[in-house]
Structure 1
Amino acid sequence: MQKIVAIFDGLRLSESTLHYAILIAKEQQAHLTGVFPDDFTYNSFNLYQLLKVGTDQATIGQLEAVDKGRREAAAGIFEAACQRAGIAYSVHHNRNISLLEALEESIYADLLIVDAQETFVHDEMKPPTRFIRDLLTDIQCPVLIVPPQILAPAVFSDISNIVFLYDGEPSSVYAIKMYGYLLPFLQKLPTTVLSVNPMGNHLANKQLVMDFIKRHFPHAGYKVMEGVPEEEIVNYLLEQAQGALIVLGAYRRSMVSRWFRESMADVLMERLSAPLFIAHNK
């Protein structure tokens, strides 16, 4: 049985994370662990501002009690959803810093699911948030980054097709492998291997990759283009119908490298609203 971990901010419960986590756990008959970090550095209120204006400790204690109640209610929503879906589940709470809690959980998980807009700070941010960037840099298992919920409650695009981003590097092949191992129930969906080469519209290691894809995804098609990957990939995906799940590798790069070039995952989170399956080999 697979172990899937879903990370939730109990003060801003992500319906998107809940939706995808329940869907995948049910299809895979996996155990779903809902992680609700009770981060002692994070509240719904600005503690610094309250102390600055002389708010008394009793009032702060009341606000902390309200936050505790909201976190408990969010965990209750998760439990009720799991029970309705008939899946095995557990709930983890910890007073650790949210990022450290998520990274530790990832060591013991087959797949981690998290909302692209998750922050675990008082202020909201646009994707990719600092929390997501730091999580992707050091995560120890594949991750499904789900799009923020921008529609009416409980309205989501079903996953209707799969796009593999292939650049000839081992990390892109590794991501495709991990996707195949972890999410076999999606393999019946239309699948495209998308490759963009700045030096011409040819497929890197063509015979090897086509032989590999044929063994695991025999009905997959190919789209090979010339150009700047960050531009052509986004343009191609924007032209596709809603419902694509994008599979990619290679997030772990040096800090200096990220100063000069954004990660493809960052670009996709900025420009698209689609789930990203990301796995990188160490």
Structure 2
Amino acid sequence: MKKIIAAVNALSFSEQELDSYKYIADKARGKLTILFLENLAGESILQPLETGYIGYDALFAESAKARQEKADSNRKKLVRYFQDNCMEVTVRSLSGVPANEVLKETRFADLLLIKNTTSFSVWQDSNPPLFIREMLTDAQCPVMVLPEATHYLREIIFTYNGTFSSMFAIRQFTQLFDGLSGTPVKVVHIVEGDDKKVPNGRLLKEYLGHHYEEVTYLTREGRASGELMALTIHGENSVMTFGAYGRSKASRFFHRSDADCLLRTTNIPLFITHP
């Protein structure tokens, strides 16, 4: 059984978020572990200023004790919610720096789930939040970024440009979600340069034919983020894959700025992984 981990802010989460994590874990036929990120050492969250750094406790009057009490109360609510809904999960409380704690866990997991607005910043955070960007860049397992509420998956969108990273993401998703063979697949090839031919198209079709019953192929020209956004902007029942996020200066399916644009605007799960 696959090990699926989900990062939850102990001071801020919703029942819809928890439902989404359990739904995706079930689709992967995995066991869900909730990483309950308490971040009680608030002073470890720092923000740069012209005059130096300001810590969490310098900005908020709320004491560490109060945060601990709130985290304890929320943990009980979280456990009770899963119990009341007959959902079997493991809950692990982690009190260190959230990004460090989660990255360590990803080395020993098959998939990381995170909500697209998860943030531990004491200031107004970027969009997508810094925590999300750190996970996408440094996680040691595939990451799926979810909207607040995840709808039933009725379509898989594979982004592809012939690179190892784009095919690696397709393979990783296929191996993790091996129960979705009956779900329609759409392969989107964004043309790079003058050659409109799908790179290694015969081999790609052969591979996908082993795993999926219904596969269609689309070729698009233009900026990747815009073309992909047009495919997903009105949809809620799709999941999209792409490879590489901010790790290499080499040609990727689209640049990090394009990926950030999709993270900001789409309302579907995005599956991202690195070779």
TM-score for both structures, normalised by structure 2: 0.84
User: C-alpha separation between the residues in 1 aligned to 2:167 and 2:251?
Assistant: 21
Report matched runs for 1:144-163 at 5 Å. 144-147=144-147, 149=148, 156-163=150-157
For 2:251 and 2:97, the matched residues in 1 are separated by 27
In 1, the alpha carbon distance for the partners of 2:56 and 2:97 equals 17
Per-residue CA deviation, residues 150-179 of structure 1 (Å, 9 max, x unaligned), is: xxxxx6532221111111111111111111
Change (3 A) 1:137 1:188: same
Residue number in structure 2 paired with 1:168: 162
CA contact (8 A) 2:11 2:38 kept: no
User: Against the structure 1 CA distance between its residues 99 and 161, is the aligned structure 2 distance closer, same or farther, given a 3 Å change threshold?
Assistant: same
Structure 2: distance between partners of 1:48 and 1:142: 36
> Identity percentage over the alignment?
27
Q: SS of the counterpart of 1:184? A: coil
Question: How far apart, CA to CA, are the structure 2 residues paired with 1:27 and 1:79?
Answer: 21
Deviations 1:47-103 (A, max 9, x none): 2145xxxxxxxxx5x733332222123322332333345444222222211100010
Q: Secondary structure at the match of 1:204?
A: coil
The one-character-per-residue Cα deviations of 1:204-231 (angstroms, maximum 9, x if unpaired) are 1111111111112231111112222222
Which stretches of structure 1, 4 residues or more, deviate above 4 A after TM superposition? 42-46, 255-258
How do residues 4-43 of structure 1 correspond to structure 2 at under 5 angstroms?
4-39=4-39, 40-41=41-42
**Could you tell me how far apart the structure 2 residues matched to 1:9 and 1:246 are?**
25
Matches of 2:202 and 2:255, distance apart in 1: 30
Q: How does 1:233-248 map to 2 (within 5 A)?
A: 233-238=228-233, 240-248=234-242
Higher share of residues assigned helix: 1
**Are 2:259 and 1:269 equivalent residues in the alignment?**
no
Gaps of 5+ in 1: 51-59, 150-154
Alignment-mate amino acid for residue 226 of structure 2:
E
CA distance in 2, matches of 1:24, 1:237: 19
Show the counterpart of 1:230: 225
Contact 1:197–1:226 under 8 Å retained in 2: yes
Q: Go from structure 1 to structure 2 and tell me whether the alpha carbon gap of 1:27 and 1:229 turns closer, same or farther (over 3 Å shift).
A: closer
Aligned to 1:48: 58
CA distance in 2, matches of 1:86, 1:29: 16
User: What is the rounded CA distance, in whole Å, between the counterparts of 1:26 and 1:65 in structure 2?
Assistant: 36
Q: Is the 8 A contact 1:43 1:67 kept in 2?
A: no
| Cα contact 2:113–2:145 (8 A) shared by 1 | yes
Tell whether the 8 Å contact from 1:138 to 1:252 is kept in structure 2 after alignment: no
Out of 190, 197, 200, the position equivalent to 1:202 is 197
Aligned AA (1:247): T
Which of 64-73 and 164-173 deviates more?
Answer: 64-73
Give the Cα–Cα distance (whole angstroms) in 1 for the partners of residues 230 and 262 of structure 2.
Answer: 11
Per-residue deviation, 1:271: 2.3
| Bigger fraction of residues in strand | 2
The residue that corresponds to 1:212 in the other structure is 207
Query: 2:36–2:94: 8 Å Cα contact kept in structure 1?
Result: yes
Question: Cα deviation per residue 1:112-169 (whole Å; 9 max; x = unaligned)?
Answer: 100111111223435311111111111000111001x3xxxxx653222111111111
TM-score by length of 1: 0.82
Q: Letter of the 2:262 partner, please give it.
A: L
CA contact (8 A) 2:25 2:31 kept: yes
Cα-Cα RMSD: 2.8
